[in-house]
């Protein structure tokens, strides 16, 4: 009986043990998947505060292959190679859309950024009467910051409640109303002049951004004043932070690298008048601003594309509807394969040997940089040269605390800290 019972007991235990092992295996697989999901969600939220670092880490590990970064609301597929960048660039905008990406960026389907939202950083330079309106300029700056901060908050909310919360927030934002009150009459007057010109009447000539927008609008169906104002808003969102932040970092780099001030100042004294007439020249200052932007770019991603339809790269990487494709521009600009000694600031990295020789710079500035440069827009570059040129010519500047961290990050952006103080000392005009 003992033997019989022993066998019987063994037969009962063996299948039970196998079932337990199988159950434990399923539990382990399930736990592993849960752990992966939790880890992904943690990294997704970390992206909000460590975006540039996560993008750089992905770039270093990917070895020129596409890689994904998750945020709480979006899946980003980063494309580092020239081959895949060309694939993004050649994809129809009905499949990979820049406009849809811009819309999601500012969450424009919600009332925060919908409707009466004009302004344009270039009015400071091309619309003198508006620029002299101090309440307008204060509201213009406040409007952008308010809108971006609130849009970021709304993007993190569930879609079911985001429109309602957006409407509530919009009631407390007043800057856009002040801006609209100033610019809509200007746009209305321009539209009236446009209609009179079409009837053959003489009207004033304008050479500013509102006029440029009107002249590039469809002729068959001219835009209304409201539409013109909305186009101004789009340009504003696309430029204000990039330009002002890039200039801020460049001023800080002047303080951190004072050895560049004198050669830059000599160039400005000799060539600034010509630059004012033509908008061209100042190669040393051009190089300095490029190097500053290379090491402290406002954005760690570029070439944003929103997938409105499923899309696949040639290596099989897939984008679902709602995913973003983009380029890790900061990582590329600091890649040693294109930029020797990439993390060292070399203000004349992008100046030609002939420019350095004609400027009679010291040998310490001699540097041979291969072909890759930093992309930029002509207007933004010209504005940066004007502002930095006036600072270098008329002021000495110094960082109050050179050891303090100069920026903080949000998503993929690097933004200057408000408590990073620079002292500007007027120079003796006779010097």
Check whether 202 has a pLDDT greater than 60: yes
Task: Give me the mean pLDDT over the 237-257 stretch.
Answer: 87
Q: How wide is the angle at C-alpha 412 spanned by C-alphas 406 and 413, nearest 5°? A: 35
The predicted structure's pLDDT at residue 390: 94
| 248, two tokens | 């801020």
In whole angstroms, what is the distance from residue 263 CA to residue 362 CA? Answer: 9
Which of 113-122, 196-205, 348-357 shows the lowest per-residue confidence on average (mean pLDDT)?
A: 113-122
pLDDT > 90: what percent of the chain?
A: 45
Do 77 and 68 touch, CB atoms closer than 8 A? Answer: yes
Query: Average model confidence (pLDDT) for the chain?
Result: 83
pLDDT of residue 56: 97
Average pLDDT of the segment spanning 384-405? 93
Answer whether residue 108 shows pLDDT above 60. no
pLDDT for the residue numbered 130: 62
Task: Specify the pLDDT at position 328.
Answer: 97
Lowest pLDDT segment from 115-124, 324-333, 386-395: 115-124
Q: What's the confidence (pLDDT) of residue 264?
A: 96
- Lowest-pLDDT range, 97-101, 129-133, 287-291, 405-409? 129-133
**CA 37 – CA 31 distance, rounded (Å):** 10
- Mean pLDDT over 204-215 rounds to 85
The pair of structure tokens assigned to 147 is: 């809108």
Q: What is the pLDDT of residue 335?
A: 95
* Residue 219 Cα distances to 198, 209, 215, angstroms: 11, 17, 8
List b or e across 139-160, with b for residues whose CB sees 16 or more CB atoms inside 10 angstroms.
bbebbbebbbebbeebbebeee
pLDDT in tens, 38-61: 777 788 899 999 999 999 999 999
* pLDDT given for residue 123 in this prediction: 38
At 131 the pLDDT is 61
Best mean pLDDT range from 214-228, 248-262, 375-389: 248-262
Asked if the model's pLDDT at residue 319 lies above 80, the reply is yes
**What is the mean predicted confidence (pLDDT) over 136-157?**
76
| Whole-number pLDDT of residue 348 | 93
Give the model's pLDDT for residue 375. 58
- pLDDT of 315 higher than 80: yes
Q: Please, what sign has the CA dihedral across residues 98, 101, 103, 105? A: negative
How confident is the model at residue 337, as a pLDDT? 92
22: left (phi over 0), alpha (psi -120 to 50) or beta: alpha
- Per-residue pLDDT averaged across 237-255, rounded? 86
Across residues 372-392, what is the average pLDDT? Answer: 80
User: What's the pLDDT tens digit per position in 73-83?
Assistant: 899 999 999 99
Model confidence band, residue 119 (pLDDT cutoffs 50, 70, 90): very low
Mean pLDDT of 343-363: 85
Contact 74, 288 (CB under 8 A): no
Residue 285 has pLDDT above 70, yes or no: yes
pLDDT of 111 > 60? The answer is no
Highest mean pLDDT among 134-138, 361-365, 371-375, 427-431: 134-138
Q: What is d(CA 351, CA 167) in angstroms, rounded to the nearest whole number? A: 50
Query: What confidence category does residue 115 fall into, taking pLDDT thresholds of 50, 70 and 90?
Result: very low
Query: Quick one: average pLDDT of 99-117?
Result: 53
Q: Identify the pLDDT of residue 96.
A: 95
Q: Which of 25-34, 169-178, 248-257 has the highest mean pLDDT?
A: 248-257
* Angstrom distance (rounded) from CA 267 to CA 286: 11
């Amino acid at each position: 009986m003992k033997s019989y019972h022993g066998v019987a007991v063994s037969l009962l235990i063996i299948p039970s043990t196998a079932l337990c092992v199988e159950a434990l295996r399923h539990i382990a697989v399930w736990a592993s998947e849960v752990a992966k999901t939790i880890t992904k969600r943690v990294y997704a939220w970390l992206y909000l505060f460590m975006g540039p670092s996560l993008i750089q880490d992905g770039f270093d590990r990917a070895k020129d292959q596409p890689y994904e970064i998750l945020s709480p609301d979006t899946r980003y597929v980063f494309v580092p190679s020239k081959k895949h960048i060309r694939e993004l660039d050649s994809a129809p905008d009905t499949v990979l859309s820049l406009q849809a990406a811009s819309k999601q960026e500012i969450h424009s389907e919600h009332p925060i950024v919908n409707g009466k939202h004009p302004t344009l950083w270039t009015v400071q330079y091309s619309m003198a009467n508006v620029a002299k309106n101090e309440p307008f300029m204060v509201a213009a700056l406040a409007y952008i910051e308010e809108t971006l901060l609130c849009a970021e908050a709304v993007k993190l909310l569930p879609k079911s409640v985001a429109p309602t919360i957006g409407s509530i927030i919009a009631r407390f934002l007043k800057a856009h109303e002040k801006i609209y009150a100033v610019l809509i009459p200007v746009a209305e007057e321009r539209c009236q002049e446009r209609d009179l010109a079409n009837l053959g009447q003489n009207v004033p000539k304008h050479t500013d951004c509102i006029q440029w927008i009107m002249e590039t609008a469809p002729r068959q169906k001219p835009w209304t004043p409201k539409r013109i104002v909305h186009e101004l808003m789009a340009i504003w969102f696309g430029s204000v932070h990039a330009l002002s932040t890039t200039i801020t970092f460049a001023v800080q780099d002047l303080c951190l690298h004072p050895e560049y001030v004198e050669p830059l100042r000599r160039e400005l004294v000799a060539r600034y008048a010509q630059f004012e007439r033509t908008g061209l020249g100042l190669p040393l200052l051009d190089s300095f601003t490029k190097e500053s932007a290379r090491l402290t770019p406002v954005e760690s991603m570029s070439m944003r594309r929103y997938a409105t339809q499923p899309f696949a790269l040639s290596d099989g990487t897939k984008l679902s509807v709602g995913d973003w494709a983009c380029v890790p521009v900061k990582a590329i600009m600091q890649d040693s394969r294109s930029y020797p000694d990439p993390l060292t600031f070399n203000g004349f990295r992008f100046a030609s040997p002939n420019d350095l020789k004609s400027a009679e710079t010291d040998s310490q500035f001699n540097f041979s940089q291969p072909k890759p440069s930093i992309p930029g827009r002509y207007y933004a570059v010209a504005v940066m040269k004007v502002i930095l040129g006036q600072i270098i010519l008329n002021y000495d500047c110094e960082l109050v605390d050179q050891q303090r961290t100069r920026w903080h990050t949000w998503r993929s952006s690097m933004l200057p800290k408000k408590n990073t103080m620079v002292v500007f000392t007027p120079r003796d005009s006779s010097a």
